Amino acid sequence: MKLGGAFVVLAGTLVLSGPAGAQDDPANLLFVTNGAGADFQWSFGERWIDVEGEGGGDAQPYCGRLINGTDGAFNYFASMVFEPNIEWEEACTWSFSLAYSDRGFVMDPYESWSNDLTTVRQIYVPQDSDFTRWVDRMTNGSDQDEEVTVQYGGSVTDWRAIVVFDTSSGDDEVDSDDNWLVADDEDEDGGMPAVAVIWQSEEAENKATQVSLDNWGGFTATFEVTVPGDQSVALVLFAVQSETREGAADLAGELTALGGAGTDELDEDIEWLVNFVPTAPGAPRVRMNGPYVVDEGGETVVHATAEDPEGDEMTYSWDLDGDEIFGDLEDTLDAPVSAANVDGPAGIRLGLRVTDELDNESIRHVTVRVDNVPPTIESTPGTEATTDELYSYQIVASDFATDTLSYSIDEGPPGMTVSNSGLVQWTPAPDGRGPDVPCVFVVTDDDGGEAEQEVTISMSGAPTLDVGGPYSVAEGGEVVLSPTAEDPEGDPITWAWDLDGDGVFDDSREDSVTWSAAGIDGPAEGFQVRVAITDGVYEVAAAIPVDVRNVGPQFMSQPPDVAVVDREWVYAVEAVDPGGDAFTLEFDEDEIPAGMTMDEDGNGNGNGNGNGRTFRWTPNAADLEVGQHDFVITARDEDNGRETQDAIITVRENSPPPLPEIAFPTGDEAVRTTSPTVILENVDDPDGDPVQYFIEVDYDLCFCTPEKQASGALPEGDLVTQWSLLPLNVDPAAVPAGHTDWYIRRWASDGLSSSDPPGLSLFSYQAPDVEQPDDDEEARDKAGCACRTGGAHGPNGAWLLAGVAIFGAILSRRRRRR
């Protein structure tokens, strides 16, 4: 992460060393205390994030921020980022939280991506003071040393122009040799207060490698730190505000030496400091070697260590009661601590003063944490209960600090109670509970410590009933209810059901039943099916809850999967909703083919119920090139139940229907009626299109004489398709002369194309009293006409020439009549 003019802010909080005078509720992320200057305030709060632009946004926690109640000091100060190995990482997260303790507000531990380095920040503001202190403790959880680059940053103003007026080296140039700086705006008597930043002491073992302050208040200080394996390292940073530049410089010099209140509440963190020297030159170096924890009523020993740089003899004096008066214990580095009379959680603060022969002294403090000890339950509960008989149990418990105890039931059957004195009572009802009833009794002291006691009570008396479940069924569906029952005494159990909700248990005597949700519109809760069992002595009834789920409408139709160029593709949607809900049909207009529409049926149906909706589309040559179209139809009911159907349509050219075979007259035998019925075999269209049939009859192959008869479009019959002719002119003596030989032309059509070529056949009329021709006479083949040329719907020149050529040979000779 590259660092620029803005910095990520690590969690900022404050803790008060004096009496209440600040907002110290961490829930609102805003803490305020007055400084020594009458108008000064130190505040920690949330950062305003402009997430919507133009001033709109949300106040979101950004690891806390330090602001100033006066004019423009330390806005968003101070950030901390570090580089464990490869890239810069924020030492804070969006999900941080702040915990309040005697030592102040402390950030949750933040683990770097290496998972070995953990950072914790404590921010401290003494009441009625002019400084804030940040302590960042980094702990290495591995056994290998960790090299860390840490950079502090932020604005010491509200990004206004400022000038450096003083540094620890006495000039107005800031660099890594300095330990502190003082800055202010040009207006010494007004505007922002004078500010100071202190980042190290003169004799520190680890000093900054880079320090800068730009003209707009942007501050950075970089440290290269080694965190030894399984150890900790702490860095400290101070921010000062003062009414005068001289006052800021004086306080900066004092804090550089960790004087005044600089080490208040620092406790064990002082032992890990690397950018400050925690003792004055020549003074003994003291470590308290904490942390220390003891249970209330217990004992421990604080083992301090001390070392004098010059090897002088040292004397030791302890403050064991936290009154800042030393002398409670002398001449030892081991201080016994007793929590015999301490009610935890609490802290016992000890001070140690170590003085060498030259009267150089070091004072260190440590707080021993006293943990609360939960109560102890000394009684044993009974483990058996009987229906309609009182179960009683007196809880007996003790607590070390004689805290006030309270009693509760964390788990137990309905009707079980516990009094303020810990008396548990319960009269089991014949409700089917058992055979084992788990219970958990809780005893709590007034410090939040609690003890639990678990017991399982065995039931006798009434039969036990486990209804099973949970049961769920789709609207309109069925569900099997299978409860189980057991009698403690082994008596037979009789079952009875009320399935229709009429309050009468007369619908079934089985131990398992099927319940129907027909006619119920889901989602619906609260349906209860009642069951009753008896062992002959006790009767147990129970209500079995059933959840009726909503399901989406169900499609009952399927879209045609083939569409023919220039023929209308039609899909009338049929769907039902199991719960009877009204529903709508939806589709993505960007998915359907161009030109496809969805309309209502001819009766106007479709509004609100989905049925009656019809998709219509006539594909063209461009659709043929695409080849396939697919889209999704969604049926959605009023409860937002959905079901989808995929429509996948393949576009192809139309295929003509096959030629229908003629069933009568075939030409094999003479026709003896002048009004014969022409019968055609039905055909199957390759595309599944509906087929119409066409028949023409004439005595001339041209099918153009006045005697021509044409059927027009004939609808397909059930098994065959037939057409009856008008009386034919078969009398040769008539005027005009009649004919006995007639031609039949036939074809089928699907509306786009027809059988090609049409079929052609010949039949002859013979009066009923005319003799049949002899076998040895020249015969005319009346069944051999199978000419199949010509246009789709009628004769043309090619068909006529072919027909004349064929029939000329056939008609060259005629049989003699008998």
Measured between alpha carbons, how far is 198 from 155 in angstroms, rounded to an integer?
14
Question: Which of 692, 722, 727, 721 is CA-nearest to residue 709?
Answer: 727
3-state secondary structure of 65: coil
Measured between alpha carbons, how far is 73 from 35 in angstroms, rounded to an integer?
13
pLDDT of residue 89: 52
Q: Once rounded to an integer, what is the mean pLDDT over residues 105-125?
A: 68
Give me the domains of the chain, ranges plus CATH numbers: 26-272 (2.70.98), 285-371 (2.60.40.10), 376-460 (2.60.40.10), 464-549 (2.60.40.10), 554-652 (2.60.40.10), 662-810 (2.60.40.10)
pLDDT of residue 793: 38
pLDDT-wise least confident of 22-26, 521-525, 732-736: 22-26
Structure tokens belonging to residue 518 = 């027909």
pLDDT of residue 260: 73
Rounded to two decimals, the pTM is 0.52
pLDDT digits (tens, 9 = 90+) for 123-150: 777 666 678 888 888 889 899 998 888 8
pLDDT-wise least confident of 272-286, 395-409, 794-808: 794-808
Measured between alpha carbons, how far is 333 from 287 in angstroms, rounded to an integer?
10
Task: Round the average pLDDT of the chain to a whole number and report it.
Answer: 81
pLDDT digits (tens, 9 = 90+) for 738-757: 999 999 999 999 999 999 99
Q: Are 633 and 647 in contact (CB under 8 A)?
A: yes
By DSSP bridging, strand 692-698 and strand 583-586 are unpaired
Measured between alpha carbons, how far is 217 from 181 in angstroms, rounded to an integer?
12
Number of Cβ within a 10 Å radius of residue 193: 26
pLDDT digits (tens, 9 = 90+) for 320-361: 998 889 999 999 999 999 999 999 888 898 999 999 999 999
Number of Cβ within a 10 Å radius of residue 107: 24
Would you give the DSSP letter of residue 16?
Answer: -
First to last CA, the chain: 117
Listed as own residue / partner, the contacts of 46-49 with beta carbons closer than 8 Å and 24 or more positions apart are 47/9, 47/76
The DSSP annotation for 242-269 comes to ESSHHHHHHHHHHHHTT-TTTTTTTGGG
Ranked by mean pLDDT, the top range of 66-80, 179-193, 459-473 is 459-473
Confidence band of 704 (pLDDT split at 50, 70, 90): very high
Q: Once rounded to an integer, what is the mean pLDDT over residues 536-556?
A: 93
Residues whose CB is less than 8 angstroms from the CB of residue 410 and which lie 6 or more positions away in sequence, other chains included? 440, 441, 442, 452
pLDDT digits (tens, 9 = 90+) for 215-231: 888 899 999 999 999 99
pLDDT of residue 191: 63
Quickly count helices (H) and strands (E) in the chain.
3, 62
pLDDT of residue 183: 92
Measured between alpha carbons, how far is 32 from 551 in angstroms, rounded to an integer?
57
**SS3 track for 524-576:** EEEEEEEEEEECCCCEEEEEEEEEEECCCCEECCCCCCEEECCCCEEEECCEE
pLDDT of residue 21: 30
Measured between alpha carbons, how far is 66 from 55 in angstroms, rounded to an integer?
21
pLDDT-wise least confident of 37-41, 124-128, 293-297, 642-646: 37-41
pLDDT of residue 782: 39
Residues whose CB is less than 8 angstroms from the CB of residue 154 and which lie 6 or more positions away in sequence, other chains included? 7, 9, 74, 75, 76, 77, 78, 79, 218, 219
Confidence band of 613 (pLDDT split at 50, 70, 90): confident
Question: Which of 43, 74, 65, 41 is CA-nearest to residue 183?
Answer: 74
Amino acid at 131: F
Question: Which of 139, 132, 184 is CA-nearest to residue 162?
Answer: 184
Confidence band of 523 (pLDDT split at 50, 70, 90): confident
pLDDT of residue 96: 41
Would you give the DSSP letter of residue 280?
Answer: -
Amino acid at 213: L
By DSSP bridging, strand 471-474 and strand 436-444 are unpaired
pLDDT of residue 287: 84
Q: Once rounded to an integer, what is the mean pLDDT over residues 513-533?
A: 90
Q: Are 263 and 278 in contact (CB under 8 A)?
A: yes
pLDDT of residue 110: 60
pLDDT of residue 507: 94
Query: What element of type H or E holds 452?
Result: strand 450-460
- Report the DSSP beta bridge partners of residue 153: 79, 220
Amino acid at 486: E
In the predicted structure, residue 639 carries a pLDDT above the cut 60: yes
In the predicted structure, residue 45 carries a pLDDT above the cut 80: no
Structure tokens belonging to residue 765 = 């009329």
Q: Once rounded to an integer, what is the mean pLDDT over residues 369-396?
A: 96
pLDDT-wise least confident of 126-130, 658-662, 732-736: 126-130
Confidence band of 119 (pLDDT split at 50, 70, 90): confident
Structure tokens belonging to residue 680 = 């055609």
pLDDT of residue 698: 97
Would you give the DSSP letter of residue 621?
Answer: H
Q: Is the Cα torsion angle 247, 250, 256, 257 positive or negative in sign? A: negative
pLDDT-wise least confident of 308-317, 436-445, 575-584, 806-815: 806-815
Q: Are 356 and 313 in contact (CB under 8 A)?
A: yes
In the predicted structure, residue 211 carries a pLDDT above the cut 70: yes
Measured between alpha carbons, how far is 212 from 218 in angstroms, rounded to an integer?
8
Q: Are 527 and 508 in contact (CB under 8 A)?
A: no
Half-sphere CA count of 701, side-chain side, radius 13 A: 24
